[in-house]
Amino acid sequence: MRAVACLLLCACDIGAIAARRGCGLEGAAFCDGPVADSPGGRGGPLDERRWQVSRFSHVSNVPQGQINAWEPAPGVGCGGTREGLVPPNDVFVCDGRFHDAFTASLSFAMHDFSLRQPFDFAGRTGTVTFSLGGPVKTTNGWWPEVWLTEAPRQIPHLHESTGSEPTVERGLGIVLKGEGPCSDDERQTAVSQVVVVDGYAVTTFSDAQLQNVECFAVGDGVMNHFELRVSQGQVELLLTPPGGAARTVLSLAVSLPFTRGHLHLEQIAWGTTRPNTLAWADVGFDGPSLPAWVAYEHPDAQEPASRLAPGSINTGYAMVSPFAASFKGVELDGKTEAWLALTASLTQPFELQVRVNGGAWERVADPTPAITHEWRALLLPVPIASLSEGDNTIELQTTVVDGFAHVANVELLLR
């Protein structure tokens, strides 16, 4: 496993490179465009120093041998179709874009790509840019979402009903699901919802509450460019179609409870066996260049999954006994803050214990008590004094032993 280190450039260097690359911004604080091939971790060809990549699947039944399981899927792009893609090869890069392909196996599934460098819009209107291509199917299909979350939690929500029981305390979500007149085929979509989360409480804006919403063309080979303009009191989304002029496709007055967030680009699927591929490019934002989180990944399981299509794999781990996550080559110099990030399925009532490097077991309080189902995206504090330079081990166990508990997407974050 490649330990994922922080960006090896100082903040001013990051800004200078971003400005040269563009992403449609003047003097960008962050820009990953064109996307370069940088293999080595959970993100496949994406640079995990910049990107946090998480995969979450409801295809999980530990006794039946399915633990955050993924069936092989074709990926469309790069001049053809790639067959039999499973993590981490379900993400692939060409033509300056990264492509994201999977099938949901009639359940809920999500791929989440979030930036390790925070975006700050305090006292101003900040701009996030990205390009997006691929079809959208609302009913029993797939759609993209764009989120800003205050904390670097991996996945903002874990349910096909966007905003239902969120995993983040504070966040903003833009749902590009279409619906209504924009969802009659896979060639057009629109903003269908805006979700604001404050203290795990959800406010959802839809239908007549959204201004300037209109359908726009999507599909394989159609790369639309977007600008998301965000202040604490206003959200706007501008679209520039291929060969066309920019126009506003969302305008909404909001009251955001945060001024610094982590950008998430997501593909979500539910209720379908049909695979889909989205393409992303020119991801960037303006504002101050803030330090990125330093991340060390525990590798995915990459074990065969049972009772699914041949070639299916599990990326998660069962918690039938204490689960031990290993983090290699940890560097602590100058670090004052540490967190363990992961997704988990824990039977209610929530009961989780953690120990670091063979120390005492510590009980963890449920950070998302409003969630009533077993799915969680957890961000657990780790005492910096309990970590060591070099290799570290963090163990997890639950006292509610029913054979179904499991974890995935495990990594250690430092700052």
Domain end marker among 259, 291, 323 = 291
14: pLDDT confidence band, cut at 50, 70 and 90? very low
Higher pLDDT, 260 or 105: 260
Contact 169, 151 (CB under 8 A): yes
Note whether 275 and 103 are within 8 A (CB): yes
Q: Is the pLDDT of residue 6 over 50?
A: no
Considering the domain boundaries, does residue 359 fall inside one?
yes
> What is the DSSP code string of 122-164?
TTS-EEEEEEEEE--BTTTTEEEEEEEESS--S-S--SSSTTS
Residue 2 lies in a domain: no
Average pLDDT for the chain? 89
**Mean pLDDT, residues 395-413:** 89
Average pLDDT over residues 21-38: 86
| Tokens, residue 326 | 């290993």
Which residue type is seen at 123? G
**Total number of domains constituting the chain:** 2
Q: What is the pLDDT of residue 130?
A: 97
Contacts for 388 with CB less than 8 Å, ≥ 6 apart: 330, 332, 357
Rounded CA separation 254/232 (Å): 7
| Residue where a domain terminates, one of 273, 291, 309 | 291
Let me know if residue 6 belongs to a domain: no
317 and 275 together in one domain:
no
Is residue 83 scored above 80 in pLDDT?
A: yes
DSSP letter at 24 equals T
What single string gives the DSSP state of each residue in 186-199? SSEE---EEEEEET
Would you state the pLDDT for residue 157?
Answer: 86
Average pLDDT for residues 153-170, to the nearest whole number? Answer: 79
pLDDT score of 180 more than 80: no
Residue 164 confidence (pLDDT) above 90 = no
User: What is the C-alpha R_g of the chain?
Assistant: 20
Q: What are 202's two structure tokens?
A: 């959800």
What is the model's pLDDT at position 40?
83
Q: Is the peptide bond before 34 cis (omega within 30 degrees of 0)?
A: yes
192 and 322 within one domain: no
Q: Which of 68, 260, 42 is nearest to 150 (CA)?
A: 260
> Do 306 and 280 share a structural domain?
no
Q: Tell me what pLDDT residue 207 has.
A: 80
Domain boundary among 257, 274, 291: 291
| 243 and 387 share one domain | no
Give the type of residue at 278: L
Nearest CA to 134 among 336, 275, 316? Answer: 275
How high is the pLDDT of residue 160? 64
Q: What is the CATH number of the domain that holds 404?
A: 2.60.120.1200
120 and 264 inside one domain: yes
Q: Are 116 and 53 in contact (CB under 8 A)?
A: no
Whether residues 325 and 279 share a domain: the answer is no
| Residue 165 predicted with pLDDT over 80 | no
Query: Considering only CA atoms, which of 169, 177, 170 is closest in space to residue 267?
Result: 177
- Domain of 214 in residue numbering reads as 11-291
Do residues 75 and 146 share a domain? yes
Q: How far apart are CA 18 and CA 31, in angstroms?
A: 5
Residues 24 and 152 in one domain: yes
Same domain, 268 and 313: no
> Does residue 206 lie in a domain region?
yes
Identity at 219, one-letter amino acid code: G
**What integer pLDDT is reported at residue 370 of this predicted model?**
66
Q: With respect to residue 268, please indicate whether it lies within any of the assigned structural domains.
A: yes
**pLDDT (0 to 100) of residue 380:** 94
Query: Which residues fall within 8 angstroms of residue 238, CB to CB, at 6 or more apart?
Result: 226, 227, 229, 246, 247, 248, 249
Residue 242, domain member (yes or no) = yes
Calpha distance 195→204 (Å, rounded): 5
The answer to whether residue 4 sits within a structural domain is no
Q: Which residue has the higher pLDDT, 289 or 211?
A: 289
> Are 107 and 161 in the same domain?
yes
Cα–Cα dist 92/111, whole Å: 13
Closest CA to 144 of 156, 132, 153, 127: 132
pLDDT at 162: 60
d(CA 23, CA 107): 35
Distances (CA, A) of 382 to 206, 223, 267, 362, 397: 39, 41, 30, 10, 15
- 254 and 381 part of one domain: no
**Domain at 41, CATH number:** 2.60.120.560
Task: Judge if 240 and 373 occupy the same domain.
Answer: no
5 in a structural domain: no
Residue-wise pLDDT for 132-141, tens only, equals: 999 998 878 8
> Worst-scoring range by mean pLDDT, 82-86, 130-134, 154-158, 225-229?
154-158
Strands annotated E in 254-371? 260-270, 276-285, 294-297, 303-304, 313-314, 317-318, 323-330, 338-345, 352-356, 362-364
Instruction: Say whether pLDDT at 18 is over 50.
Output: no
